[in-house]
């Protein structure tokens, strides 16, 4: 028998959390900016993600949601959003997690594009380094016995990278990540993730390893430097075909100053994963070795200029 779930929205309490504002609604859950209150005026601003009411009785969706929480709860890294609590309120599961005061990388790339700008190379390099650091940490995470959890994000893209106004870079949304602790099996031939950031093997629904995430980081870096996704086409079929067959133009063709990135992106975006970086940390090391002109502004100043001054 279906039991009606109470409506929850901004301006109301959800257990011990006061919901301030709805931030987003995704395929599995709603995301709210929230405040946790305590004695002597204690307050903490965080994010509450709750499963959608109509999915509370769908066992697979509930397990996917719980799987995200189980994965995230094991992670403690400066470049991965931290989960504080997995809880249940009025029959609905929720996750309380770290709030990052800033913008998604997707918003930053788009805002720069509206100004006819691209993200400065030094800032793009710094962001990509930290994405690599967070991804490599997740890829190499082990359980208490030292056994690898074999975590693959599978949906690394600018929407799932948060940039804080204070300079933080955080990878979010392990909601479709694949790991050894997952209890929901992915069906053969099932493709998950945003098509335009998929690796060739992911677009063909082949088995994945961490090199698939390296490919996605490569696309993200390319987009930061060049202002466009190298594989984006007018429809999904052409996009997948480009991912599988098209070699992107090196960034130096757009701007000779970007030449130091050419070999890194050629390796990260290799169609054959055997020719790719074996680990995101290897890509991170190559990024660190690049010699670039001194940046004219830091990431914090760049974000402030993009979002707090008129176009």
pLDDT in tens, 27-56: 677 899 999 988 887 899 999 988 887 888
| Residue 155 is among the residues annotated as catalytic for this protein | yes
pLDDT in tens, 144-176: 899 988 889 999 999 999 999 999 999 998 755
What is the pTM (predicted TM-score) of this model? 0.88
Mean pLDDT of 174-199: 57
pLDDT at 5 exceeding the cut of 50: no
pLDDT in tens, 203-246: 999 999 999 999 999 999 999 999 999 999 999 999 999 999 99
Q: Of 98, 126, 158, which marks where a domain is finished?
A: 98
pLDDT of residue 8: 62
Q: Between 166 and 63, where is the model more confident?
A: 166
Q: CA-to-CA distance for 28 and 73, rounded, in angstroms? A: 18
End-to-end distance of the chain based on CA atoms, in angstroms? 54
Q: CA-to-CA distance for 286 and 157, rounded, in angstroms? A: 20
155, 173, 213, 279: the catalytic one is 155
Determine, yes or no, domain membership for 283: yes
- Can you give the CATH number for the domain in which 174 is found? 1.10.510.10
- Can you give the CATH number for the domain in which 59 is found? 3.30.200.20
Give me 13's structure tokens.
């309490």
pLDDT band at 2 (very low <50, low <70, confident <90, very high): very low
Give me 221's structure tokens.
């870096």
Determine, yes or no, domain membership for 5: no
């Amino acid at each position: 028998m279906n039991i009606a779930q109470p409506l929850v929205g901004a301006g109301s309490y959800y257990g011990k959390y006061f919901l301030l504002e709805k931030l987003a609604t995704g395929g599995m859950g709603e995301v709210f900016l929230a405040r946790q209150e305590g004695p002597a005026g204690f307050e903490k601003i965080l994010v509450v993600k709750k499963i959608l009411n109509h999915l509370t009785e769908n066992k697979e969706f509930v397990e996917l949601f719980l799987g995200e929480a189980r994965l995230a709860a094991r992670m403690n890294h400066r470049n991965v959003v931290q989960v504080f609590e997995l809880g249940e309120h009025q029959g609905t599961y929720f996750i309380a997690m770290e709030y990052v005061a800033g913008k998604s990388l997707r918003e930053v790339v788009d805002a720069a594009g509206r100004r006819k700008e691209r993200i400065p190379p030094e800032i793009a390099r710094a962001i990509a380094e930290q994405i690599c650091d967070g991804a490599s940490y997740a890829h190499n995470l082990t359980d208490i016995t030292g056994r690898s959890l074999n975590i693959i994000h599978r949906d690394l893209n600018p929407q799932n990278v948060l940039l804080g106004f204070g300079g933080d870079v955080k990878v979010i949304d392990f909601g479709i990540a694949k790991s050894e602790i997952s209890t929901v099996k992915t069906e053969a031939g099932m493709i998950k993730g945003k098509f335009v950031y998929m690796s060739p093997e992911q677009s063909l629904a082949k088995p994945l390893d961490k090199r698939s995430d390296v490919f996605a980081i490569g696309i993200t870096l390319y987009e930061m430097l060049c202002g466009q996704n190298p594989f984006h086409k007018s429809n999904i079929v052409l996009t997948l075909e480009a991912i599988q067959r098209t070699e992107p133009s090196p960034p130096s063709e757009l701007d000779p100053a970007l030449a130091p990135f050419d070999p890194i992106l050629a390796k990260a975006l290799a169609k054959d994963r055997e020719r790719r970086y074996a680990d995101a940390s290897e890509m991170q090391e190559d990024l660190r070795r690049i010699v670039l002109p001194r940046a004219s502004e830091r990431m914090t100043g760049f974000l402030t200029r993009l979002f707090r001054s008129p176009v």
